[in-house]
Amino acid sequence: MKLFTTLGTAVLGLAMLAGGAAAEGQRDAKNISFSFEGPFGHFDKAQLQRGYKVYKQVCSNCHSMRFVAFRNLADPGGPGFTEEEVKALAATFQVQDGPGSDGQMFERPGLPSDHFPSPFPNEEAAKNANGGALPPDLSLITKARAGWYGTINQFLFGIGGPQYVYSVLTGYEDKPADVSIPEGKYYNPYFASGPAIGMPPHGTLADGAVEFDDGSPNTINDMARDVSAFLAWTAEPKMEERKSTGFAVMIYLAILAGLLYLVKKKIWSDVPH
């Protein structure tokens, strides 16, 4: 009994710690659901492919993803592009290489083994182009940011990173009269370091901006949802493997527990009480 009380207290303590992480005044992320939530959730390949397209056409104008290599897009459990497709899409990016024989760095089309580059040569240039705000690398953003702070939600669905990205993209509003926002910034109550954000409204997404081959809807909200799912995958590319291994381990442990119980009963059966 004492063990349970201790465990219970520990869990409660952890939950409260997680609960205290909210920045002051930051609004909780919008509670939208994704196919990959819960212990049996899977990434939706078609959605990841659409999310990639949104990243490529819109977000990659400002944000890098330096922990993701182009070839990862063909890995199992991901968007499921073919090797040929990966070669072609890598070549649409320019990456820096060198120095060449003349001692100078040069640009060349990307190869599958390259990582998603930054569109800017360095951080200063990136800030300069964005009114002083640095567009962060997006590879791990859905792990780096917690989206909501409800204890039960976090236990069941994770920390809400994709919901956070979705909420930032769709959360631009007219600023309340009592809040002042510096010139060149926008009001976004969902932004972790907000409410003033240096990213232009909706990360420059506009209704219909990206056309999907499968004819999927492409309002700002739809594209924000797809790119958030894609960024959940970039932050945890082995999620499906982890979940199926976890499930196999649970079954194994359940069978083992049953066997141990039977063995214990058998061994102790002739001991007089």
Using rule CB under 6 A, residue 41 touches ligand HEC: no
Please state, in angstroms and as integers, the Cα–Cα distance from residue 116 to each residue in 35, 98, 121, 168, 188, following that order: 25, 17, 13, 22, 27
Using rule CB under 6 A, residue 210 touches ligand HEC: no
Using rule CB under 6 A, residue 61 touches ligand HEC: yes
> What span, in angstroms and rounded, lies between the C-alpha atoms of 120 and 135?
10
> What span, in angstroms and rounded, lies between the C-alpha atoms of 273 and 271?
6
Cβ-based nearer residue to ligand HEC, 139 or 154: 139
Please state, in angstroms and as integers, the Cα–Cα distance from residue 73 to each residue in 30, 69, 170, 230, 246, following that order: 28, 8, 26, 10, 24
Using rule CB under 6 A, residue 65 touches ligand HEC: no
Cβ-based nearer residue to ligand HEC, 174 or 270: 174
The single residue among 28, 47, 49, 59 that binds ligand HEC, judged by CB under 6 A, is 59
Which are the contacts of 202, defined by CB distance < 8 A and separation ≥ 6?
Answer: 169, 170, 172, 220, 224
Cβ-based nearer residue to ligand HEC, 199 or 235: 199
Q: Any idea what the Cα angle at residue 51 is, between residues 54 and 107, rounded to 5°?
A: 55
Using rule CB under 6 A, residue 162 touches ligand HEC: no
The single residue among 29, 48, 54, 232 that binds ligand HEC, judged by CB under 6 A, is 54
Contacts with ligand HEC in 121-140 (CB under 6 A)? 130, 133, 135-136, 138
Which are the contacts of 140, defined by CB distance < 8 A and separation ≥ 6?
Answer: 67, 234, 235
Using rule CB under 6 A, residue 165 touches ligand HEC: yes
Rg of the chain over all Cα atoms, to the nearest angstrom: 24
Tell me the per-residue interface mask from 1 to 40 with ligand HEC, x by CB under 6 A, - otherwise. Answer: ----------------------------------------
Q: Pick the piece of the chain touching ligand HEC (CB under 6 A) from 25-33, 58-66, 102-110, 258-266.
A: 58-66
Sites of contact with ligand HEC (CB under 6 A): 54, 58-59, 61-63, 130, 133, 135-136, 138, 141, 145, 165, 168-169, 192, 197-200, 203-205, 227
